[in-house]
Chains A and B, each alone.
Chain A
């Protein structure tokens, strides 16, 4: 039985970090630490000397990890595995093409696969929740603006609600914009003129 794999998760967002850690705990016995402070990242990682570093592929601090491959000689320690934000299959490609590019010294790719899978699954779940929440919020905001614009059109033109909405929708179609955009423009303009 090999020792538990030591993993460092680099993630500034606390909630997302917790989620990834939870996912990893479900996947197996790992010794996990989270680094949330991007300053001095190379130093912090060197101090902890983990087997695997998990970091979002879109995190600009990823470049800092490259320093470790140099500091410790050509590739004599495992460095980075990546959590994928995008849907473009980069992680799959990375795993196919080169988990071994980052993982050396007897650490088998097979041992890393569950780590990566769990982290990615959790990360995606979190992203989805975030996106849904943001979408819901945006829809609510838009609804409010459209209602205000509708009210203004009704008052200005002395027409009913359905008619006012139809006018807004037509203006949007004519300008190749979304109804919410036209409504926002109207509300903004009215604010300026008031």
Chain B
């Protein structure tokens, strides 16, 4: 039987790895699929490529399909999330001058304590702080809002979060247009490499198990092509498992660094995959185990509660009705399709499709469809718990 071609889009980032590995390492071929990979210059253009049918599947910021379902942002086509491609994988950084002020004030750049780093940042800058993010509907934006609110810093009063395309982030920091940024790797490491800034925190210090990029398709496509959707889910699940193996890191970084994909040095890309970071231009090293997750802890499972957490954050920010937002968002993450695609493959499938977010402190065995599922720590920096049932 001949392979089916699926045009798929991605944005050049380290976490585009599952799509690229699925094609390059033959996981797509195992499902008789050929992924025609299209590199998109921006998130809005990738979203539109998907909406208008230029591609049938896309790596997408987790909040984009949720925002579309709520009717905010530029998309009017309904999207479905087939799986989570990556968990965490972003960094927060500051300009070199701000890094100096933080260091002078005694901040140790420990790279793991969101509360103390946040307080140091706000004390050093006051309310005028300007932070760059790649897209208004992104985990970067949501995590920053959550973090600043948790620190009782009202983002409405002075602190501004503005959109800066990742390739322009270094320039924006250098020219003083922004003081800090939250961006996906390798753009943070590139800013350090260019001497523009220093890294303050990994995104996971704010929420240790935040869905970052998802595999999105048009909802109509998912309905019309359930078989293809299942094959796609399985191919990407295998790619995620391969990427999670430390032995794959070197090769994964090499493949990603190719000119047609990220076109950046493998050494910089490998920092995120290995969790070994250079956080200042002076060479300070920090290690972040599990900086980015592709597989462990049922990382690929699209929890409806993840979609609802995002929806609630969006609703609060845009003044939408909370109840409606929760109701509309849940079904966007298709835990049902994910289950049916992976049943019988040996993949970890949780027993529920929604969970309390923020309760898992140490790795935990939870009830699965058959046997148990191991879950990884899932904590918010301020210890809060998100209960989708109570929120409604």
Residues in chain B near residue A61, CB distance under 8 A? 42, 165, 168
Contact A90 B74 (CB under 8 A): no
User: Does the CB pair B168–A60 fall under 8 Å?
Assistant: yes
Q: How large is the interface on B (under 10, 10 to 19, 20 to 34, 35 or more residues)?
A: 20 to 34
Within 8 A of A (CB), among B55-90: 71-77
Contact assessment for A70 and B168 in the assembled complex, using a CB-CB cutoff below 8 Å: no
Interface residues of A in 63-95 (CB under 8 A from B): 63-67, 69-70, 73-75, 79-80, 88, 90, 93-94
A3 to B45, CA, bound (A): 31
List chain B residues, Cβ under 8 A from A79: 74
Cβ-based interface call for B347 (8 A): no
> Scoring A residues 81 to 119 as 1 if CB is less than 8 Å from chain B, else 0, what string do you get?
000000010100110011001100000000000000000
Which of A36-44, A134-142, A158-166, A185-193 lies at the interface?
A: A36-44
Chain A minimum-CB-distance residue to B45: A57
CB-defined contacts of A73 to chain B, threshold 8 Å: 318
- Cross-chain contact B52 with A64 (CB below 8 angstroms): no
Chain A 29-57, CB-CB to B under 8 Å as 1, else 0, gives 00000000011101000000000000001
Nearest Cβ distance between residue A60 and chain B, in whole angstroms?
4
B136 contacts chain A at the CB level, 8 A cutoff: yes
Chain B residues whose C-beta falls within 8 Å of the C-beta of A129 in the assembled complex: none
Once bound together, how far apart are the Cα atoms of A59 and B41, in whole Å?
7
**Taking the complex as formed, is A58 at the interface, i.e. its CB lies under 8 A from any CB of chain B?**
yes
In the bound complex, residues from chain A placing their C-beta under 8 Å from that of B53 are 93
Chain B residues contacting A57 (CB-CB under 8 Å) are: 41, 45
Query: Which of A40, A67, A80, A88 has the most B CB atoms < 10 Å from its CB?
Result: A67
Is A16 in contact with chain B by the CB < 8 A criterion?
no
Which chain B positions have C-beta within 8 A of A42? 162-163
**Contact B163–A66 (Cβ < 8 Å):** yes
**At the interface, yes or no: B211 with Cβ under 8 Å from chain A?**
no
Contact of A74 among B45, B49, B175, B318 (CB under 8 A): B318
Asked whether B73 lies within 8 Å of A90 as measured between CB atoms, the reply is: no
B387 CB to closest chain A CB, in angstroms?
27
CB distance from B178 to the nearest CB of A (A): 10
| Interface of chain B: mostly helix, strand, loop or mixed | loop
Asked if B354 is at the interface of the complex by the 8 Å CB criterion, the answer is no
Report if A69-B162 is in contact (Cβ < 8 Å); known contacts: A63-B43, A90-B48, A93-B52.
no
Q: Is B44 interfacial (CB-CB < 8 Å)?
A: yes
Query: Is the CB–CB distance between A98 and B163 below 8 Å?
Result: no
In-complex Cβ contact of B134 among A63, A80, A93 (8 A): A63
* Contact A90 B49, CB 8 Å, known A38-B168, A66-B74: yes
Binary contact track A154-189/B, C-beta < 8 Å → 1, others 0: 000000000000000000000000000000000000
Q: Is A25 an interface residue (CB 8 A)?
A: no
A66 touching B73 in the complex, CB below 8 Å, given contacts A39-B177, A88-B54, A90-B48:
yes
- How far is A97 from B74 in the complex, measured between Cα atoms in Å? 12
- Which chain B residues (128-182) contact chain A, with CB distance < 8 Å? 134-137, 162-168, 171-172, 175, 177
B51 at the interface (CB under 8 A from A): yes
Contact: B167 with A60, CB < 8 Å? yes
Question: Is A62 an interface residue when CB atoms closer than 8 A count as contact?
Answer: yes
Whether A62 contacts B45 by the Cβ 8 Å rule is: yes
Q: Are the C-beta atoms of B163 and A64 separated by less than 8 Å?
A: yes
Q: Are A65 and B44 in contact (CB under 8 A)?
A: yes
CA distance A62 to B45 in the complex (A): 8
Q: What residues of chain B have their CB less than 8 Å away from a CB belonging to chain A? A: 41-45, 48-49, 51-54, 71-77, 134-137, 162-168, 171-172, 175, 177, 318
Q: Which 10 A-B pairs have the closest CB atoms?
A: A60-B165, A93-B52, A67-B163, A63-B42, A58-B41, A64-B163, A60-B42, A62-B42, A70-B136, A67-B136
Known A-B contacts: A39-B172, A70-B72. Give 9 more (CB < 8 A). A59-B42, A63-B44, A64-B164, A69-B73, A69-B136, A74-B318, A90-B48, A90-B49, A93-B52
17 residue pairs A–B, Cβ–Cβ below 8 Å: A39-B168, A39-B171, A40-B177, A42-B163, A58-B45, A62-B41, A62-B44, A63-B165, A66-B73, A67-B162, A70-B73, A73-B318, A74-B72, A80-B44, A90-B48, A90-B49, A90-B52
